Amino acid sequence: MEHFEFEKHTSSEYNTELEDIRNHLLQMGGQAENQLRTVLKAISEESDELATELLSQGDDIDQMEVDLDQECTRIIARRQPAASDLRLIVAVMKSITDIERIGDETEKMARLLKKLFARDFHSKYFKEIDHLGQEVLTNLSGSLNALARLDAEEAIKLAQRDQVIDAHFDELNGQLIKKMVKDPNKVKPYLGLSQCAQSLERIGDHAKNICEYIIYLVIGKDVRHTDIEEVKNSLLEQ
Amino acid sequence: MNEAVLNGLNEPTMKVQSNRETEDSLNIEYTDTVGQPLCDDPKISTRNVDVFYADNQAIHDVSLDIGAHQVIALIGPSGCGKSTYLRTLNRMNDTIDICRVKGQILLDGHDIYQKKQDPVLLRARVGMVFQKPNPFPKSIYDNVAYGPRIHGLTRNKAELDDLVEDSLIKAGLFQEVKDRLHAPGTGLSGGQQQRLCIARTIAVQPEVILMDEPASALDPIATAKIEELINELKENFTIVIVTHSMQQAARVSQRTAYFHMGRLIEVGETDQIFTNPSHELTEKYITGRFG
């Protein structure tokens, strides 16, 4: 949408408010991205210290979610936004739920890792999970960049890439299940690894949701629960 | 009665076209109207309408259908021509000497600007409610009975009483005034006066009601009552409302038409216009980037 712009309202205060929620959303996304980086580092380095560090970061993301919700509610009440402004508010309110859940998943992974490290459990699958995690991180970073640039084309590409993550997760999880069957004594730690992989797959889904909100925000089309190929083709036709 | 008077001759012209120009202040190119200006079941069809005040062209080449039993909102910045366009629909512009209207305006397929059309009878079919409540300096009863009396719509006092009561009920005012029907209409509150004017309009049994910012002089409660009334009235009437309140347009209308500098820029379903307008000018206006 070439005429997309959040500034230039008659009310400069309104410009500032909209700019603020965009900035705060990106800060919140950046925080979630950092948490994912930290937990992936904890996995690749098998570092209990990093897992602990992540858990000690407290409720930053939760607080950001509450603050952004309040900011959006205030703008709705005071400004009655319409068109792209309204879509921005809707996209922000929806994105923060996903980002908050990404934060939760990273914390869940950190707790699982701490249990695994406490057992002194070592496995080549830490590396495999890290590979999956790097793919997820690429998608999450990409979706946050697309959000910053309001780049719907990039959002479509990234949403498509979620299928690759899903396939990778299925393959990895299949291998972990086989390990559990083969070695019943290690069901618990492998289950822990499987849950970590599952968290990463979910983070991928949340990143995909963010991409869908970007498409809605920029193009005005709700593409949730539709085949991404269909979406791509219909948008190309337009 | 009205059908005989409005024995129309012209078929609607379905062509929608305009000249390409650059809109000066915003540097946005104006092209044809975007969206769906025409509809399948129009009560009023306007085609290629130009309106001039002496040499000054206020409306440029507007083609728009107004669907039956629908509320269509006309929005746009001050001076965009929405009220001028509204007034062409019942020939209120006839009262302005320097005003000329070109193009075609059809009510149920009949040209309302043909010479044999009596504008008074036209205005009985296409009534109007103004920005400022303007009750006659008469009683509440006489305000509503005025139109039916001059148009001879009732045969006796009992019928007239029924019509007055029915109109006041439809305008949502009867319960508030039933015990003082012979008190002056001008003694009512602003919101009540506006509903009295709506009752007066309804009393002559129009098919279309034109509303020119009907709630802009009212407080939020009175505004809510008028909006609720508009919603009920659309069952029986076709309503065209000019409003400066974007929220009001979004609340009361099914279709919205956006005017800018005398041109019809975009027409669409109200939900679409307020969530995802197609034209840059519409987007800029409804998001408060100008106007």
Section A197-209 average pLDDT: 97
Say what the pLDDT of residue B4 is: 36
Section A11-34 average pLDDT: 92
- What radius of gyration do chain A's Cα atoms show? 20
Closest Cα in chain A, distance from residue B84 (Å): 26
Q: What percent of chain B has pLDDT over 90?
A: 80
Residue with tokens 């001059």: B150
Q: Do the chains contact at A10 and B288, CB–CB below 8 Å?
A: yes
Say what the pLDDT of residue B28 is: 57
- Local confidence band at B30 (pLDDT 50, 70, 90 cut-offs): low
- Residue that wins the pLDDT comparison between B221 and B270: B270
Say what the pLDDT of residue A238 is: 66
Residue among B247, B286, B290 minimizing CB distance to A83: B286
Is it the case that residue B8 has pLDDT exceeding 50? no
- Local confidence band at A116 (pLDDT 50, 70, 90 cut-offs): very high
Q: What ipTM goes with this model?
A: 0.76
Give the end-to-end CA distance of chain A in Å, rounded to a whole number: 12
Least confident of A92-96, A176-180, B30-34: B30-34
Q: Do the chains contact at A3 and B276, CB–CB below 8 Å?
A: no
Chain B residues touching A83 at Cβ < 8 A: 274-277, 282-283, 286-287
Say what the pLDDT of residue B13 is: 33
Is it the case that residue B44 has pLDDT exceeding 50? yes
Task: Specify the CATH number of the domain A12-237.
Answer: 1.20.58.220
Q: Do the chains contact at B277 and A83, CB–CB below 8 Å?
A: yes
User: CA A191, CA A196: separation in Å to the nearest integer?
Assistant: 9
Is it the case that residue B29 has pLDDT exceeding 80? no
pLDDT tens track for B141-179:
999 999 999 999 999 999 999 999 999 999 999 999 999
The answer to whether B66 touches B42, Cβ cutoff 8 Å, is yes
Q: What percent of chain A has pLDDT over 90?
A: 80
pLDDT tens track for A42-89:
999 999 999 999 998 867 899 999 999 999 999 999 899 999 999 999
- Local confidence band at A1 (pLDDT 50, 70, 90 cut-offs): very low
The answer to whether A159 touches A211, Cβ cutoff 8 Å, is yes
Question: What does pTM read for this prediction?
Answer: 0.81
User: CA B208, CA B89: separation in Å to the nearest integer?
Assistant: 9
Section B105-129 average pLDDT: 95
- Local confidence band at A225 (pLDDT 50, 70, 90 cut-offs): confident
Residue B75's nearest CA partner among A88, A65, A83, A28 is: A83
Say what the pLDDT of residue B259 is: 97
Q: Do the chains contact at A81 and B291, CB–CB below 8 Å?
A: no
**B positions 227-246 inside 8 Å of A (CB):** 246
pLDDT tens track for B121-136:
999 999 999 999 999 9
Is it the case that residue B25 has pLDDT exceeding 60? no
Residue among B250, B282, B288 minimizing CB distance to A14: B288
Cα dihedral B280, B283, B286, B291 sign: negative
- Residue that wins the pLDDT comparison between B210 and A237: B210
Domain ranges across chain A: 12-237
Distances (CA, A) of B48 to B13, B22, B31, B90, B259: 9, 19, 14, 17, 14
Instruction: State chain A's mean pLDDT as an integer.
Output: 92
The answer to whether B241 touches B71, Cβ cutoff 8 Å, is yes
Instruction: Give a three-class secondary structure readout of B238-268.
Output: EEEEECCCHHHHHHHCCEEEEEECCEEEEEE
- Give yes or no for B31 touching A (CB within 8 A): no
Element (H, E) at B4: helix B2-5
| Domains assigned to chain B | 31-134+209-286 (3.40.50.300)
Is it the case that residue B24 has pLDDT exceeding 70? no
Closest Cα in chain B, distance from residue A72 (Å): 16
SS3 B101: strand
Is it the case that residue A194 has pLDDT exceeding 90? yes
Say what the pLDDT of residue A10 is: 82
Residue B207's nearest CA partner among B107, B96, B100, B132 is: B107
What six digits make up the tokens of B178? 């039933």
**B positions 247-286 inside 8 Å of A (CB):** 247, 250, 274-277, 280, 282-284, 286
Question: Phi/psi class of residue B12: alpha, beta or left (left: φ > 0; alpha: ψ in -120 to 50)?
Answer: beta
SS3 B118: coil
- Residue that wins the pLDDT comparison between A75 and B27: A75
User: CA A208, CA A159: separation in Å to the nearest integer?
Assistant: 5
- Beta-bridge partners for B105: B46
- Local confidence band at B222 (pLDDT 50, 70, 90 cut-offs): confident
Q: Do the chains contact at B286 and A220, CB–CB below 8 Å?
A: no
- Give yes or no for B288 touching A (CB within 8 A): yes
Chain CA centroid to CA B249, Å: 13
Instruction: Give a three-class secondary structure readout of B174-234.
Output: HHHHCCCCCCEHHHCCHHHHHHHHHHHHHHCCCCEEEEECCCCCCCHHHHHHHHHHHHHHC
Q: Do the chains contact at A82 and B290, CB–CB below 8 Å?
A: no
Is it the case that residue A202 has pLDDT exceeding 80? yes
Q: Do the chains contact at B283 and A83, CB–CB below 8 Å?
A: yes
What six digits make up the tokens of B109? 């397929």
The DSSP 8-state label assigned to residue B139 in this structure reads B
Q: Do the chains contact at B274 and A10, CB–CB below 8 Å?
A: no
User: Who contacts B43 (Cβ-Cβ below 8 Å, separation ≥6)?
Assistant: B66, B67, B68, B69, B107, B108, B207, B208, B238
What φ, ψ does residue B104 adopt, rounded to 5°? -125, 130
- Local confidence band at B1 (pLDDT 50, 70, 90 cut-offs): very low
Q: Do the chains contact at B283 and A87, CB–CB below 8 Å?
A: no
Q: What percent of chain A has pLDDT over 70?
A: 95
Residue in chain A nearest B249 by alpha carbon: A82
User: Who contacts A157 (Cβ-Cβ below 8 Å, separation ≥6)?
Assistant: none
Interface residues from chain A to B (CB-CB < 8 Å): 3, 5, 8-11, 14, 79-87, 220-221
- Local confidence band at B60 (pLDDT 50, 70, 90 cut-offs): very high
Instruction: State chain B's mean pLDDT as an integer.
Output: 89
